[in-house]
């Protein structure tokens, strides 16, 4: 008891010391300022934040939430900066959930959108237009291996929905394996793959197995990929017929809090899943297009070649959501 009391006292003392240090350092610093930026936002004459929020609350469903006591009313963007209704400038460190990859309102993109809109705004795919093939070819040129066929859909959720459907149809098996702490979408199909209770509803979710998350920092097996892979193997051995439809994972979990996978994990589990007849899907919705810094696609950091890659967000920065799903010779 005496030891416990002593430890508690020491811990309270060091916490107080730390708080004091923080406060004294903070108060001696002047508040940070943004570097100069040669751009004057336009004068804003639209509705102010309170009115915008009230209308949102009245006409939109409660699923549209925000995290703030008083959310910002963002009215203009220019490259890495955003401006609120009063013209105040903010550094956009979030890029709309890693979606705005070329900066806000990049002049080259704006110009391309305007020029195309003046010429032709819509054509269905039963007629010809070169853009869809050109874009698919450009994407395919960035892919390794046999990943050369593109499916355009409307969102990351829809890309994962299609990938899951393809995996099940190709393999003839129903069971899908996903990681705990994963986010793959909110449709009635992908909500089953998602493994964060804040993003799930209690609806039928199909045969989904959520295996232990190979989180190298907080995970139960530390960074030992072999033990996490063993857990996945056991799910197949004890929770399925021995055959699965597929496996899906983000290479860095985004919504789950920027969580990397234990090194070597994907190589091990892709082998296991292939042996069980399944298709391996890499969800690159938050990691593709160079967003990891070191590689163009997140899966390359793990040295694997997926059978299907799903992507979104960055590919949608232009005008509307172009979400893309790539598949190999598999399907």
Rule CB under 6 A: which residues touch ligand PLP? 97, 155-157, 160, 183-185, 250, 254-255, 283, 285-286, 312
Q: How distant is the alpha carbon of residue 193 from its chain centre?
A: 14
- 311 Cβ partners below 8 Å, 6+ apart? 156, 159, 284, 285, 288, 289, 323, 324, 325, 326
What backbone phi and psi angles, to 5 degrees, belong to 253? -65, 130
What backbone phi and psi angles, to 5 degrees, belong to 215? -75, 115
Q: How distant is the alpha carbon of residue 34 from its chain centre?
A: 28
CB-nearer residue toward ligand PLP: 160 or 233: 160
Q: Are 208 and 247 in contact (CB under 8 A)?
A: no
What tokens appear for 108 in the block?
């080259």
Using Cβ positions, the residue closest to ligand PLP within the complex turns out to be: 156
Q: How far is 9 from 326, CA to CA, in rounded Å?
A: 58
Query: In angstroms, what is the minimal distance from the CB of 64 to ligand PLP?
Result: 13
CB-nearer residue toward ligand PLP: 160 or 301: 160
Q: How far is 140 from 320, CA to CA, in rounded Å?
A: 20
Q: Where are the alpha helices (DSSP H) in the chain?
A: 2-28, 49-59, 95-98, 107-119, 130-141, 156-171, 190-193, 225-239, 265-275
Query: In angstroms, what is the minimal distance from the CB of 193 to ligand PLP?
Result: 9
Query: In angstroms, what is the minimal distance from the CB of 205 to ligand PLP?
Result: 16
CB-nearer residue toward ligand PLP: 240 or 260: 260
Query: In angstroms, what is the minimal distance from the CB of 159 to ligand PLP?
Result: 7
CB-nearer residue toward ligand PLP: 184 or 268: 184
CB-nearer residue toward ligand PLP: 195 or 312: 312
CB-nearer residue toward ligand PLP: 78 or 184: 184
Query: In angstroms, what is the minimal distance from the CB of 248 to ligand PLP?
Result: 9
Query: In angstroms, what is the minimal distance from the CB of 252 to ligand PLP?
Result: 9
């Amino acid at each position: 008891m005496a030891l416990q009391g002593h430890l508690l006292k020491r811990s309270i003392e060091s916490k107080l010391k730390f708080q004091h240090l923080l406060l004294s350092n903070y108060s001696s610093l002047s508040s940070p300022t943004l570097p100069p930026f040669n751009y004057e936002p336009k004068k804003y004459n639209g509705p102010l934040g309170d009115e915008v929020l009230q209308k949102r609350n009245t006409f939109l469903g409660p699923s549209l939430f925000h995290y703030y006591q008083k959310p910002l009313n963002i009215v203009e963007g220019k490259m890495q900066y955003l401006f609120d209704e009063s013209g105040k400038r903010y550094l956009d460190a979030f890029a709309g959930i890693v979606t705005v990859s070329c900066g806000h309102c990049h002049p080259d993109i704006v110009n391309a959108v305007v020029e195309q809109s003046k010429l032709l705004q819509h054509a269905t795919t039963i007629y010809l237009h070169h853009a869809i093939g050109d874009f698919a070819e450009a994407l395919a040129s960035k892919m390794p291996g046999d990943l050369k066929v593109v499916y355009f859909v409307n969102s990351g959720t829809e890309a994962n929905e299609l990938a899951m459907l393809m995996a099940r149809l190709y393999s003839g098996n129903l069971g899908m394996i996903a990681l705990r702490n994963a986010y793959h979408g909110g449709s009635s199909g992908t909500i089953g793959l998602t493994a964060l209770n804040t993003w799930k509803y209690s609806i039928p979710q199909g045969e989904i197995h959520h295996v232990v998350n190979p989180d190298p920092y907080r995970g139960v097996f530390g960074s030992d990929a072999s033990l996490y892979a063993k857990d996945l193997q056991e799910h197949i051995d004890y929770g399925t017929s021995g055959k699965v439809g597929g496996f899906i994972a983000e290479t860095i979990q985004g919504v789950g809090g920027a969580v990397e996978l234990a090194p070597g994990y994907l190589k091990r589990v892709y082998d296991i899943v292939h042996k069980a007849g399944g298709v391996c899907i890499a969800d690159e919705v938050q990691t593709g297009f160079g967003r990891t810094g070191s590689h163009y696609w997140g899966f390359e950091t793990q040295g694997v070649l997926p059978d299907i890659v799903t992507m979104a967000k960055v590919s949608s920065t232009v005008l509307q959501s172009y979400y893309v799903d790539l598949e190999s010779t598999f399907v």
